[in-house]
Amino acid sequence: MKYYFKFSALLAALYLLTPFFLSAQQTDADIVGHVLCEGNHIPGITIHLKGTGRGTSTDQTGHYNLNNLPVGSYILRAQGIGYTAQEKPVELKAGTTIEVHFELQTDLIDLDQVVVSASRNET
């Protein structure tokens, strides 16, 4: 009976710890880089790893980092208002940090005509 209890306790412990070990193996890749336009770093550009819901923005110096990402093949997208979006394929491997840099082009924003009118009523 003691043997059965010890064996059951060991199996229960392994069962409870399995998700912890699996999650540690799946999310251990990082991406770092910067975004430029005409040689100048661009702050506030959105960086998104498609298919993961993970993203960030470039800091005041145009640099970004994404940490603890799931391993696999993805598309990394950089976009911002006034710039043409750019995508790059990335291969994330366990325990690695890769550098991905973007060189965006300016994009003209074409807006429809806006008419503002007002009238004054005196009473």
Instruction: Map out the domains of the chain with their CATH numbers.
Output: 27-103 (2.60.40.10)
Q: Which residues contact 76 (CB under 8 A, 6 or more apart)?
A: 31, 47, 48, 49, 50, 87, 88, 89, 90, 100
Q: 48-105 pLDDT, tens per residue? A: 999 999 999 999 999 999 999 999 999 999 999 999 999 999 999 999 999 999 999 9
Rounded CA Rg of the chain:
25
Tokens matching residue 96: 């690695």
d(CA 24, CA 4): 31
Nearest Cα neighbor of 85 from 100, 101, 104 is 104
**Most confident listed range (15-29, 77-91, 106-120):** 77-91
- Name the more confident of 31 and 15: 31
Q: What is the overall mean pLDDT for the chain?
A: 86
